[in-house]
Structure 1
Amino acid sequence: MYRIGFITLCAFLFVSLFSCKKESAQDDGLSTTVNLSEYTVEDIPGSDRKMLTKMTPQGLLEEQGMVEGDKKVGTWAQFYAPNTKPKEIWTYENGKLNGLHYLLNNSGRVDMYESFLDGKLHGKRVTYKQGSPVEEMSYKNGQLDGIFRGFFPTGKLQRIGNFVNGKQDGKYIVYDENKQIILQANYRNGEVIK
C-alpha cells in the first residue's frame, strides 16, 4: 500500500510541477514586447521592421531578433557566452509566440522544445536529458490535452496517461524498469475513478 501511495504522490507532483513549468515558460523571458534601449537597433531597408542585437558587457552576442514597433516578430535567439552558441530559439508572429521554441544546452543538443500558437502552448512539448526523451506532453490552447509520457533514463517508458482540457482523463499507468505495471488508475475530469 505504501508503494502505491508513494507512486500516486509522485504522479501528482509530476503533473503539478509540469503545470507550473507551462506557466513559467510563458512568463520567463518570452515577453512579446521589447525595451529598445537595451539593444543596438538597425533599420531593415524597405520594411517597418528593425533588427535588434544585445551584447554582453564583454562584447559577445547575447540576443538577437526583429521587432515591428516594440513587438517581437520572426525568429529570436539567445546565445551562450563566450562561445555564442544558441541557447534559446523562438518565433513570434504579430507580437505573439507562434511556432517552435527550443532550449539548447551549451553543446548544442536540444533540452526541450515546445510549440506555441497565438501566444499559448499548442502542440507537443518534449524535454530531453543527454539526448534522450524525459517527458512528452501535448497542449491545446495553453492546456495539457492529449497523451503524456515519462521515460526512465534508459529511454524505457515509465508512465503514460492522458489529459483533456487540462485535466487528467482516462487510463494512467506506471511501469518499473522491467516493463511491469506497478500502478494503474483511471481518471475522469481530473478525479480518480474508484
Structure 2
Amino acid sequence: MFSHPRSPRIPHRPRRPGAWTRGGARGRVRLRGAGLALALVLLAGWGATARADLRENRYPDGALMTQWEVRYEAGEVFRDGEFRRYHPGGALALQAYYRHNEPVGVWTWFDAEGNVMRRVRHEQGRRVLLDNGEFLQPEHVFRDPAGRIKAEGIMKFDKPHGPWRFYFPDGSLQVKGAYVTGVADGLWITYQRNGQMIRRETYRLGILHGEFRRAFDNGLEAERGSYDEGLRSGLWRTWYANGQLETEGYFREDLREGEWRFYAQDGTLLRRTVYRVDTPINDLPLPKPAETLAPIIPDPHALPFAPRLYDENGRRIPLHVPK
C-alpha cells in the first residue's frame, strides 16, 4: 500500500546512474566512464564568461532522469533556468526553476500518473505552499497478528500523508517521518530499541536531499554528509566504530573530486589523494611529524554550483578557478 524509506523504491545512497550528458554551444558530449581524459573534458571551458550549458543524467535503462540548465560566470557555475526530474516511466516528476542558484517561481511535483502532488511558490527566499493539503481520512493504525501496533499515521486518498511512526514489536519507536501522498518527504529518523538515534536523513518527495547522518549501534557517528537531488554532494566524512576519522573529502554529483584523506583506526593519516571525476590523479605528501594539516578546502571543480564558504569571522572565502 505504501513505501517505507527502506524499501527499494526509495534507495539509500544512490550511485550516479547510467550515462551523463553535458551540452552547450560546443555540442553534446556523452560521459561513459572516468579517467584523466574525461576529467580534462569536464574541466575544459572553466573561466569562460556567461556560457550556458544543459546537463542531464539518465536511469540505467537510458530513460531521462533529471535535466537542468547551468551558467558559467567568472569561473563559477550556477544553476540558472529550468530544472526537471522524471519518473522511471518517463512522466514528469518535478518542474522547477533557478536563478543564479536560488529557487524562483512556482515548483510543481507530480506523481507517476501526472497528478499534482504539491505546488510551492518561492518569494524572496521564502517558500509559500499553494495547496492546503487537507487530510481526507482520520488517523490509521496498523497492527501485527498479535495486536501490537506496527505503524500509525494519516491517510489521504488511501495513501499515507503527513506524519507517520513505525514501532518495534516491544512498542518502542523505530522510525518516524512524513509522507506526501505516499512518498517520503522531509526529515526521517531511525532509532534503536534503546532510543538511540542511528540514522537521520531528509527526503524531497522520495529523493534524498539535504543532510544525512548515520551512527553505529554504540551511538558514535559513522557517516555524515549531504545529498543534492539523490546524489552525494559537498563534504563527506566517515568514522570507525572507535570514533576515529576514517575518510574525508568532497563529492560532486556522487563522484569524488579534489583532495581526499584516508586514516587508520589509530588516527594516523595513511594517504592524501587528489581525485578528478572519481579517478585518483596523484598522491600528496604526508605531513612531517610536527606539522599540522589545514582543513580541506574544496576544489571549485568539486562543487555542483557556486560555493558559499565563510571563515571564522563570517567573511566569505573567495574561490577562483584557474583559466
Which region of structure 1 is more displaced relative to structure 2, 56-65 or 93-102?
93-102
Q: Which residue of 1 aligns with 2:207?
A: 120
Structure 2 gap ranges (5+): 1-10, 15-110, 112-133, 283-323
Q: Which residue of 1 aligns with 2:191?
A: 104
Match for residue 55 of structure 1 among 119, 143, 147: 143
Question: How much has 1:51 moved relative to structure 2?
Answer: 1.6
- The letter of the residue matching 1:156 is Q
Q: Which residue of 1 aligns with 2:279?
A: 191
Aligned residue pair count: 153
Alpha-carbon distance in 1 for matches of 2:180, 2:135: 15
For residue 49 of structure 1, give the secondary structure of its aligned residue in structure 2: coil
Q: Which residue of 2 aligns with 1:133?
A: 221
Question: How much has 1:172 moved relative to structure 2?
Answer: 0.9
Q: 1:47 to 1:139 in 2, by over 3 A?
A: closer
Question: How much has 1:125 moved relative to structure 2?
Answer: 1.4
User: What is the 5 A alignment of 1:168-183?
Assistant: 168-183=256-271
Q: Which residue of 2 aligns with 1:84?
A: 171
Rg larger in 1 or in 2?
2
Could you say which structure has the greater relative contact order, defined with CA pairs below 8 angstroms and 6 or more residues apart?
A: 2
- The letter of the residue matching 1:140 is D
Across the aligned residues of Structure 1 and Structure 2, the Cα RMSD in angstroms comes to 2.0
Question: How much has 1:74 moved relative to structure 2?
Answer: 1.0
**2:135 matched to 1:144?**
no
Q: Which residue of 2 aligns with 1:14?
A: none
For residue 108 of structure 1, give the secondary structure of its aligned residue in structure 2: coil
Q: Which residue of 1 aligns with 2:65?
A: none
For normalisation by structure 2, the TM-score amounts to: 0.44
- The letter of the residue matching 2:190 is L
Structure 1 gap ranges (5+): 1-19, 24-31, 33-45
Match for residue 75 of structure 1 among 160, 163, 184: 163
Which region of structure 1 is more displaced relative to structure 2, 164-173 or 92-101?
92-101
Q: 1:22 to 1:101 in 2, by over 3 A?
A: same
Which region of structure 1 is more displaced relative to structure 2, 138-147 or 69-78?
69-78
Instruction: State the Cα deviation string for residues 96-132 of structure 1 (Å, max 9, x = none).
Output: 3221111111111111111111221011211111111
Question: How much has 1:181 moved relative to structure 2?
Answer: 1.4
The answer (yes or no) to whether the contact 2:258–2:276 under 8 Å persists in 1 is yes
- The letter of the residue matching 1:86 is L
Question: How much has 1:47 moved relative to structure 2?
Answer: 4.6
Question: How much has 1:52 moved relative to structure 2?
Answer: 1.6
For normalisation by structure 1, the TM-score amounts to: 0.72
Instruction: State the Cα deviation string for residues 167-189 of structure 1 (Å, max 9, x = none).
Output: 11111101124433101111112
Query: Where is the helix percentage greater, Structure 1 or Structure 2?
Result: 1
Q: Which residue of 2 aligns with 1:3?
A: none
